Structure 1
Amino acid sequence: MNETTPAFDRHMLEALVCPVTQTVLEYDAEAQELVSRAANLAFPIRNGIPVMLTDEARPLE
């Protein structure tokens, strides 16, 4: 993340759940993703905004 990229507000994590399983998400700061272990998906964070669309999610390995 560079100086021009807005940071993800970790307090937002308390309000967000996985759109597939409605379970808690983990914040991966290095990858800038919200991870749903239950759904085996990682949702990207772009410009500080989580993209909670399953079409945009990356499958976990």
Structure 2
Amino acid sequence: MSAPQLSEELLAIIVCPACKGDLSVTGSDADAEPVELACSGCGLVYPVRDGIPVLLVDEARKPV
């Protein structure tokens, strides 16, 4: 059983909670589930856990 994937509709409407920039998928695991969403504005990277984006600034990491 594969993990749920982020829908295109969801990706079209969610934005970075810090700067309201667009988010894009930056990786996938073995099941092709997105594992991170990166902001094109401020650069913060948000995790995706069990198919659910964790859009909390405190959970985001700064890019390396």
Short-chain TM bin: 0.7 to 0.9
Structure 1 residue 44 corresponds to structure 2 residue 47: yes
Match of 2:14 in 1: 16
Q: Report the Cα distance in structure 2 between the residues aligned to 1:40 and 1:24, rounded to whole angstroms.
A: 10
Is 1:53 the counterpart of 2:44? The answer is no
| Residue identity in the other structure for 2:58 | D
* TM-score, normalised via structure 2 length: 0.77
Dislocated runs of 4+, deviation >4 Å: none
- Secondary structure (helix, strand or coil) at the match of 1:58 reads coil
Using the TM superposition, give the Cα deviation of residue 6 of structure 1 relative to its aligned residue in structure 2, in angstroms: 2.2
Superposed displacement of residue 4, structure 1: 4.1
Aligned residue in 1 for 2:5 = 7
Aligned equivalent of 1:29: 27
2:11 match: secondary structure: helix
* Alignment root-mean-square deviation, CA: 1.6
Q: Distance in 2 between matches of 1:41 and 1:57?
A: 6
Amino acid in structure 1 at the alignment position of 2:21: T
